[in-house]
Amino acid sequence: MKKQLFYAGWLLALAAGSFCVWRFSAPSAPAQKQAALPAATSASETMVALLNEPLLPLPAMPDLDPRKVSLGRRLFHDPRLSKNNTISCASCHNIQTMAGADGRKLSLGIEGALGKVNAPTVFNSGLNFKQFWDGRAATLEEQVHGPVTNSLEMGAQWPDVIAKLGQDADYVTEFKTSYGEGSITPDMITDAIAVFERSLVTPSRFDRYLLGDKTALTQREQEGYRLFKEHGCVACHQGVSIGGNMFQTMGKMADYFGDRGNITESDMGRFNVTKDDRDKYKFKVPGLRNVALTPPYFHDGNAATLEEAIQTMAKYQLGAAFTDEEVGLIIEFLKSLNGEYDGKPLEKSSE
């Protein structure tokens, strides 16, 4: 019943014209909204179609202060947020060439420190219901705080970061303009970066398909989507992010960690936050937008390819085995989730 009520509210918003495929092209420019529906598709027809869909198109552009987006973008790429001025947020979340990730199994922090989990893409992270694999941060602001002070990542202390940024006259001016105060604070820094991250959304062809343009996907991509639904992948990968809105146990149908071996503290997942035995091996289900561009996969980075990730999910989450043809079709569908940012298609991650 809750699901039906949620969709009803969502579709009422669509009927009111508040949905669109959108782009935030530049920090100083207003959002460029496109028509929500193809000319040949009525709002009522799209509502009927979406009532039967477990996945939803991107919502309208959030109301973001362009000054904070610009400031947050600069902070996101500034290595002075790290202890030794060598690591920035973008070091593990490269939005220019790595689709918001880093292409590594485990990320590298200051002085080559090896992280404990795979760095997920930062694109569309503002749509997640919680942040980090174990969901320990309820907001993007909380999430930003973690890496800055984590000894394996940026290893800094806030007083030192503020002292360094305070010596930059441009930063002082930008913070004053954005927040009305001359003194830089940790809350201002985390807020600005979080605002920037909320601008990192990636509309795709699949959004156009959901909104009624059936020519947006090829027949093979549509067949892959049908299999994605038919096999039950949508039980966890659903909604706007095609994931990112629930926790799920890794290894529901078979012992993933027993088969992989070498269980670590990070493999405990949500348990590390709640200390509830029922949360052992539970992780936030990752969103699948741009998934074809962000290998390796899972919290441990253990799946090097999308093919391997799909077969692993089939075995351990669904208790199934897909044929090579089915895997190929599902991959074609997943590639339709590749989006664009700043008016350009996201690039494929590479070493």
- Residue 295: the pLDDT is 96
The CATH number of the domain holding residue 133 is 1.10.760.10
**Domain annotation covers residue 179:** yes
* Alpha-helix residue ranges (DSSP H) falling in the chain: 2-15, 43-51, 66-76, 89-92, 140-149, 158-166, 169-179, 186-198, 205-210, 219-230, 256-260, 271-274, 306-313, 324-335
**Domain annotation covers residue 129:** yes
**Domain annotation covers residue 211:** no
**Domain annotation covers residue 18:** no
Could you give the 3-state DSSP secondary structure of residue 204? strand
**Contact, 299 vs 150, CB < 8 A?**
no
**Domain annotation covers residue 122:** yes
Number of domains in the chain: 1
Q: Is 153 a catalytic residue?
A: yes
- Residue 142: the pLDDT is 96
Range of the domain at 176: 66-198
**Helix, strand, coil % over all residues of the chain, rounded to 5:** 45, 10, 50
- Residue 309: the pLDDT is 98
Predicted confidence (pLDDT) per residue in 204-219, tens digit: 999 999 999 999 999 9
**Contact, 233 vs 288, CB < 8 A?**
no
- Residue 51: the pLDDT is 60
Residue 196 CB partners (closer than 8 Å, separation 6+): 27, 68, 69, 71, 72, 73, 75, 76
- What count of other Cβ atoms lies within 10 Å of the Cβ of residue 114? 11
**Domain annotation covers residue 108:** yes
Q: Within a 13 Å sphere around the CA of 4, how many CA atoms are in the beta-carbon half? A: 1
**Contact, 165 vs 239, CB < 8 A?**
no
- Residue 69: the pLDDT is 98
The residues pairing with 339 across neighbouring beta strands, listed in sequence order, are 204
Its pTM surpasses 0.75: yes
Predicted confidence (pLDDT) per residue in 20-63, tens digit: 433 333 333 333 333 344 444 555 555 555 667 899 999 887 89
> How much is the mean pLDDT over the chain?
88
Q: Which two tokens stand for residue 68?
A: 């904070």
Q: Which residue among the candidates 153, 197, 221, 332 is catalytic per the annotation?
A: 153
Q: What angle do CA 295, 223, 327 make, to 5 degrees?
A: 40
**Domain annotation covers residue 309:** no
- Residue 61: the pLDDT is 76
Q: Which residues of the chain have pLDDT under 70?
A: 1-51, 348-351
- Residue 347: the pLDDT is 77
C-alpha distances in Å from residue 116, one per residue of 20, 129, 224: 38, 22, 33
**Contact, 9 vs 24, CB < 8 A?**
no
**Domain annotation covers residue 238:** no
